[in-house]
Amino acid sequence: MQVRRADAMGMCFGVRDALAAIEQVDEPGTVTIHGELVHNGEVLQMLANRGFQQSGEDLRDVPITEGVLITAHGVSNRERRKLRAAGKQLLDTTCPLVHKAHEAAQLLEAEGRRVIVIGRPDHVEVRGIVEDLQNAVVVKTEQDVVTWPEQALGVVCQTTTPSERVDCILLAIRRANGHADVRLIDTVCNPTKARGAALEALLPQVDALVVVGGSDSNNTRQLVLRGERRGIPTLHIENASELVPEWFFGREVVGLTAGTSTLPATIDAVHEQLIRLAAEVVPSSS
């Protein structure tokens, strides 16, 4: 059995920079991470061990600590005002590409368009974008698309949406709203596009795929779906301990990729374990 890594995978600069900012916090016990910093259980446990409070995904309550860390997923300006009004010191690690998605949505609204956000309605990034808009709607699939009465529609995307899904949903929006002028601002981030493209290039070369990333991570799930849609047996794991030797029996070439919040050390540990399995459990025929 051989192991092939995707050319682009794993941690993006947005998550890396957020983690670097967190490293600089001297008194973790005085800071609440507002929402999940990353959808990665290992990282969240590490932060809890350092003493950070974590407010969870719903962001309903104002944290009790003096410091509040806004995660790479961002929050609405309304939420920022609420926190500042409560006297909180904000440490803002919002990814610049999430800021761009907010700006794009607000620009479209300023043009008089009803804004449609392609993404998961329950995702903290999407909620942050929508909360600052008047009349936005979120569509997750083509089935959510309807005919809206407005003459002008503006479309943005959750930054981790696969480009193919954006294309399909945009087509459905245009078909159902032939009366309207529809403008897309593509806010899918480049790291997401690069990881998707690298996986597409890898899939024809492998007969099985391992994807490393948090079970709640949107972009990790999208990588898993890409493998499954191509009919490639795909194993989604959070770390090397979940690798089951039996799963690899009979595999010739196993591909490896990882979501944007996966630590480099976690990927390397998985890679090393795969190489051990290849040598010990499933000897290569080549």
The yes or no reply on residue 266 touching ligand SF4 (CB under 6 A) is no
Is 118 one of the binding residues for ligand SF4 (CB under 6 A)? no
| Options 40, 65, 222, 260; binder of ligand SF4; rule CB under 6 A | 260
Is the separation of the CB atoms in 243 and 270 below 8 Å?
A: yes
Q: Return d(Cα 31, Cα 53) in angstroms, integer.
A: 6
How far is residue 16's CA from residue 22's CA, in Å, rounded to a whole number? Answer: 10
Rounded Cα–Cα distance for residues 94 and 140 (Å): 23
Binding mask 198-217 for ligand SF4 (x = CB under 6 A): --------------------
Under rule CB under 6 A, which residues in 152-181 are in contact with ligand SF4? 159-160
Residue nearest ligand SF4, CB atom distance: 14
Instruction: Tell me: does residue 95 bind ligand SF4 (CB under 6 A).
Output: yes
The active-site residue out of 36, 79, 125, 238 is 125
Q: Cα torsion at 243, 246, 248, 249 (round to 10°)?
A: 170
Please say which residue, 3 or 8, places its beta carbon nearer to ligand SF4.
8
Smallest gap, in angstroms, from Cβ of residue 70 to ligand SF4?
12
3 vs 253: CA distance, rounded Å: 6
Q: Rounded to the nearest whole angstrom, what is the least distance from the CB of residue 72 to ligand SF4 in the complex?
A: 4
191 scored as a contact of ligand SF4 (CB under 6 A): yes
228 classed as catalytic: no
Name which position in 14, 63, 214, 255 contacts ligand SF4 (CB under 6 A): 14
Report the C-alpha gap between 188 and 156 in whole angstroms: 8
Do 260 and 10 form a contact (C-beta atoms < 8 A)?
A: yes
Query: CB burial class (10 A; 0-12, 13-18, 19+) of residue 23?
Result: exposed
Q: What are the residue numbers of the active site?
A: 125
Site residues, ligand SF4 (CB under 6 A): 12-15, 72, 95, 97-98, 159-160, 189, 191-192, 260
